[in-house]
Amino acid sequence: MHGNIGTQAKAGETGKAKGRGQPPRVGDDPLFRRILLAFVLFFVAIVVVAPLVIIGFEAFSRGAGYFARSIAEPDTRHAIFLTAMTALIAVPVNTIFGVAAAWSITKFDFRGKRLLTVLIELPFSVSPIVAGVAYLFVYGLQGLFGPALQSAEMKILFALPGIVLASMFVTAPFVARELIPLMQAQGRDLEEAATSLGASGWRTFFSVTLPNIKWALLYGVVLCNSRVMGEFGAVSVVSGNIRGQTNTLPLHIELLYHDYNAVGAFAAASILALLAIVTLVAKVVLERQGAGRVRRPATLAGNDAVYPEVKT
């Protein structure tokens, strides 16, 4: 409440409200404050914290040995492996895509720039299950490329490629969305300066652009990764849910749960929960470095003027 200190002091000086009997400002009634805080805390406890605690508690309810055995079960191990594989492919691809998209949008002028910006964000507003079904129609046996793919003996659906594709669709905006506002605020001066000094495009990117966007980039990567590993809807449609073959961790958790193997489900879920906590910590650390805000505290060199982008 830093912003209020000044006003408070001022109110004191005017002498109208001497001593302790200052009239409360709007929304500053102690009772109101307590009720609001209590409501928020209660809500967070019930909605956010309780499920997390339950996961940890239930996972170990039959002891650490049972927990370890549940994790070590071949199907669960395979699901973990598949999830990791998916992330290992989808996250780097989306990172490269995100950087390329942010670079094109912020450093070039071209027709349809606004449209591209909107399109990149589309996956945020589409339900993942819709994406999954759409992939079925494109790559499925009855789909657009289905017959061609079958004759080429390429398996996309109900296999790793399909899972990766669906995950990539869902997480396509994460990196680009972190970078675009930052790179827009930074303008093109630094790149122009580097080029005029004789640096090549790659050199400019790696020694000038990248160091200035690295925290935002990492932030986007962390969020993208956690979403890829946790994605359920789109993957559920395209993977075919084959136990021990095309089940990712979130799908496997559901399967275990339907098998009335609650402890197994919770054990598997605890891995995702752990991932969430690691992501959260990473996010906080990165935010300390200045990532994740629309604008960083004025870039060090003082090129803090926001250059008006040519909107097309």
| Cα(65)–Cα(296) distance, integer angstroms | 47
| Cα(97)–Cα(94) distance, integer angstroms | 5
CA distances for 186 relative to 90, 109, 242, 299, angstroms: 28, 16, 48, 8
Check residue 197 for interaction with another protein (CB under 8 A).
yes
| Cα(292)–Cα(283) distance, integer angstroms | 8
Residues 6+ apart with CB under 8 A from 31: none
The candidate with the shortest Cα–Cα distance to 169, out of 132, 142, 137, 216, is 132
Q: Where are the alpha helices (DSSP H) in the chain?
A: 2-13, 30-43, 50-59, 63-72, 74-107, 113-125, 128-139, 146-151, 160-171, 173-186, 189-196, 201-204, 210-230, 233-239, 249-258, 262-288
| Cα(217)–Cα(71) distance, integer angstroms | 32
CB 178 within 8 A of CB 106: no
Stretch that binds another protein, among 66-74, 170-178, 184-192, 237-245 (CB under 8 A): 184-192
Interaction residues for another protein, span 126-165 (CB under 8 A) = none
| The binder of another protein chosen from 199, 275, 276, 285 (CB under 8 A) | 199
> In the complex with another protein, which residue's Cβ is closer, 51 or 211?
211
Check residue 305 for interaction with another protein (CB under 8 A).
yes
| Cα(170)–Cα(165) distance, integer angstroms | 9
The candidate with the shortest Cα–Cα distance to 170, out of 235, 112, 217, 221, is 235
> In the complex with another protein, which residue's Cβ is closer, 86 or 209?
209
Interaction residues for another protein, span 65-104 (CB under 8 A) = none
Check residue 112 for interaction with another protein (CB under 8 A).
no
Q: How far is the CB of 199 from another protein (least distance, A)?
A: 4
| The binder of another protein chosen from 159, 190, 276, 282 (CB under 8 A) | 190
> In the complex with another protein, which residue's Cβ is closer, 160 or 208?
208
Site string for another protein, 212-251 (x = CB under 8 A): x---------------------------------------
Record the tokens describing residue 28, joined without a space.
């500053």
| The binder of another protein chosen from 91, 180, 194, 273 (CB under 8 A) | 194
Q: How far is the CB of 191 from another protein (least distance, A)?
A: 9
Check residue 275 for interaction with another protein (CB under 8 A).
no
Check residue 192 for interaction with another protein (CB under 8 A).
yes
| The binder of another protein chosen from 211, 242, 287, 288 (CB under 8 A) | 211
Stretch that binds another protein, among 62-70, 117-125, 176-184, 298-306 (CB under 8 A): 298-306
Quickly tell me which residue has 């109900």 as its tokens.
158
Quickly tell me which residue has 């995702």 as its tokens.
272
Q: How far is the CB of 108 from another protein (least distance, A)?
A: 13
Number of residues that bind another protein (CB under 8 A): 24
Q: How far is the CB of 192 from another protein (least distance, A)?
A: 6
Record the tokens describing residue 253, joined without a space.
């958790």
Positions that interact with another protein (CB under 8 A): 189-190, 192-200, 203, 207-208, 211-212, 299-305, 310
